[in-house]
Amino acid sequence: MKYLYSLLGVLFVLLVIILSSQYESAELQESPKIKTPTHQQQQAAKSLTPIVQPINPATRSFQSIELESIRLIDCFNDVNCDYPQSDPKSYFFAVGDDMKHLLKVTSANFASGNISDNEAQIIALDMLRIPNGHVQSEAIALLESLPVTDESFSALKSVFSDNFDSILLEKSLTLLHRYHQQGFDQELDALFQSLMINGGHFVRQFISANLLPFINNSNIESYRHSASQMNNSTLEFRQLMSTLNEYELIQQGG
């Protein structure tokens, strides 16, 4: 009898296993299959992806830039615009910031081909004439990307003839060297020599220490003549003589 019960128990377990297997098989058959997209379907999906175009900030016309330049110059000269005047410098500081921004906008528009080099030069020279070193430095940066012209050189010469800002001169050195190499060498030599004798303290010292790129066989004697007019106990005299001697040493292969 015990054997019979054991046999029935085994049969019951086998029956449960068989029924469970059939249920799982049926469940799997009913489950939907996930299909992998074909190559064509993937390409079609990509074609539906929106393309985000970058926004070009250089989209202002020359007319709008020029009008803004005129407005800012009037604000600077007349001190009658809506800028803060919490202290004596705040107004001009704020106007100067807008001028620098306008020069950056002009530069971006020129770089993108939205305005011509002549139009960019007009804005640069307008801002260069503003007696604000930060604005003038930004104008110099713009002029560095523009062609050499008589009008630009005339403005540069005027600024440095009446300016004792050695920092501005330092920022302009690369631009001035380009002008020196493209036909304005004699005028620049005369300007440098005048500034070394009559310029401000730091301007005299800066020029005398940074003349080497401008010295050549054609102008070295004129610089020696300028040195003869200087006080030989000054730093600028010693720096100028050192520069001239260094040039000659280079020419000799030293």
Say if 91 falls within a structural domain: yes
Question: 157, 186 in Cβ contact below 8 A?
Answer: no
Say if 237 falls within a structural domain: no
Q: Please report which helix (H) or strand (E) contains residue 115, including its range.
A: none
The C-alpha angle with vertex 181 and arms to 175 and 183, in degrees rounded to 5, equals 105
Lookup result for tokens 């600077």: 76
Which regions of the chain does DSSP assign to beta strands (E)? none
Say if 134 falls within a structural domain: yes
Question: 111, 93 in Cβ contact below 8 A?
Answer: no
Q: How far apart are CA 186 and CA 199, in angstroms?
A: 18
Say if 125 falls within a structural domain: yes
Q: How many CB atoms lie within 10 A of CB 201?
A: 12
Q: How far apart are CA 246 and CA 204, in angstroms?
A: 19
Supply the range of the domain harboring residue 123: 60-147
Lookup result for tokens 């993937």: 42
pLDDT at 50: 37
pLDDT at 58: 62
Say if 109 falls within a structural domain: yes
Question: 57, 108 in Cβ contact below 8 A?
Answer: yes
Domains identified in the chain, total number: 1
pLDDT at 165: 82
pLDDT at 35: 43
CA distances from 148 to 32, 114, 177, 217, 250 (A): 74, 20, 11, 23, 29
Say if 6 falls within a structural domain: no
Say if 222 falls within a structural domain: no
Question: 76, 25 in Cβ contact below 8 A?
Answer: no
Per-position pLDDT tens, the chain of length 254: 544 445 445 455 555 455 555 544 444 444 434 344 455 544 443 343 333 333 355 688 999 999 999 999 999 999 999 999 999 899 999 999 999 999 999 999 999 999 999 999 999 999 999 999 999 999 999 999 999 999 999 999 999 987 778 899 999 999 999 999 999 999 999 999 999 999 999 999 999 999 999 999 999 999 999 999 999 999 999 999 999 999 999 999 86
Say if 115 falls within a structural domain: yes
Question: 73, 126 in Cβ contact below 8 A?
Answer: yes
| Phi, psi dihedral angles at 69 (to 5 degrees) | -65, -45
